Amino acid sequence: MKTTLQNLPVMVRRTLITLVIFLLLAIAALVTVVTLSQMKVQQPLTIEQTEFITIKPGTSFNAFSKQLISKGWLENRFWLRSYAKFNSEQSKIKSGTYQIRANMSVLELLNLVVSGKEYQFSITFIEGSTFKQVLAQLAQHPHVTQQLTNLSIAAVAKKLAILQDNPEGWLYPDTYAFTQDTSDISIIKRAYDKMQNELNSQWQNRAQGLPYKTPYEALIMASIIEKESGRHTEHPRIASVFINRLNKKMRLQTDPTVIYGLGERYQGDITYAHLREKTVYNTYRIKGLPPTPIALPGAQALEAAMQPEISDYFYFVSNGAGEHIFSKNLADHNRAVTKYQRKKK
């Protein structure tokens, strides 16, 4: 005989009905919480401008939600925690520093910190900068961890395993992206490795008959070309002048090397005494190339040093407008100097 609800005792029937109602209410409440949590996490955070958040290693989801409250980005964390309970994969946050945009939704933030796609900060080493200037840039960057503080330049060179005590010229000028708390030495190492690769690549494709014995000598030349002109189109012709002078055993007589040799003593003007002072970087007094590069050469300067223009020029002078006037003999050069120095005055 089949048992029906009507056949059950009254108390049992009431208990079963109560249980069913309670179960239906619980299901309804659960569906409501799930639905509302999904809606709530799609609402924007209460921030009006781009900000950053750093999640430390080992941070729990509970601590992360409290962090959002402490920043004032959320009014309460109930809906976020509820959403994470029903979507367990969304609770697996990763440590790092993330950029949070204005009006970003809670869900977008959650997706970001779960993905682990940290914000990439950047630093740009400018063509023609010196190694010392690069170190200063890194020291001032708020998101770089300092490991080179108080180290001498020679000590930094040793850390990089650079053969020369003066590592000038060995960093490739470029923009380098990195995450929060990347060390200064790791960024410099990337710039050094890139310069090595670029120099070796250019060396393999260099023109025949150049007066360089090693790639390092070509690097020195490229740094001089870089400092002589910021106009890249002039680099091959400037290179040809220096190549021609080296081949004729003439001194390079280039002011940027004199300035580099003066160091802190240079105050904006080269004097006659400076030109007469015999330092290893004074190419008015020494023959051939200086002992090291004098700056960071860029791609165009490196290429010009390896693939110079073929010319009969031996001299050049600035025209005061960002370009140079090239001459094949001293008489023409002196006339150009007189003309453009007079114009400058």
Residues ≥6 apart with Cβ < 8 Å to 268: none
| The pairing of beta strand 182-183 with beta strand 144-145 | parallel
Cα–Cα dist 342/345, whole Å: 5
22 HSE (CA, 13 A, CB side): 6
Contact, 226 vs 297, CB < 8 A? Answer: yes
Query: Is pTM, for the whole model, over 0.85?
Result: no
Cα–Cα dist 90/109, whole Å: 11
Query: In this predicted structure, what is the pLDDT of residue 191?
Result: 97
Query: In this predicted structure, what is the pLDDT of residue 83?
Result: 79
The full DSSP string for 237-254 is HHHHHHHHHHHTT-----
DSSP letter, residue 297: -
- State the residue for tokens 């160091």: 263
Tokens describing residue 60: 């729990």
Query: In this predicted structure, what is the pLDDT of residue 51?
Result: 92
- State the residue for tokens 């924007």: 44
DSSP letter, residue 44: B
Query: In this predicted structure, what is the pLDDT of residue 305?
Result: 97
Q: Identify how many contiguous H helices and E strands the chain contains and give both numbers.
A: 13, 8
Query: In this predicted structure, what is the pLDDT of residue 3?
Result: 55
Tokens describing residue 81: 């925690």
Cα–Cα dist 186/184, whole Å: 5
Which positions of the chain have pLDDT values less than 70? 1-8, 10, 12-13, 16-17, 20-21, 24-37, 39, 342-345
Length of the chain counted residue by residue: 345
Q: The domain 51-115 is classified under which CATH number: 3.10.450, 3.30.70, 3.40.1350, 3.30.1490?
A: 3.30.1490
Task: Using the Cα atoms of residue 193, residue 304, residue 326 and residue 289 in order, give the sign of their dihedral.
Answer: positive
**Nearest one of 118, 113, 150 to 135, comparing CA atoms:** 150
- Interior angle at CA 327, CA 271 and CA 218, nearest 5: 75
- State the residue for tokens 């796609």: 117
Cα–Cα dist 80/159, whole Å: 47
Domain boundaries, the chain: 51-115, 121-197, 208-344
Tokens describing residue 236: 């091959």
Query: In this predicted structure, what is the pLDDT of residue 27?
Result: 66
User: What is the C-alpha R_g of the chain?
Assistant: 34
DSSP letter, residue 79: H
Tokens describing residue 292: 């090291």
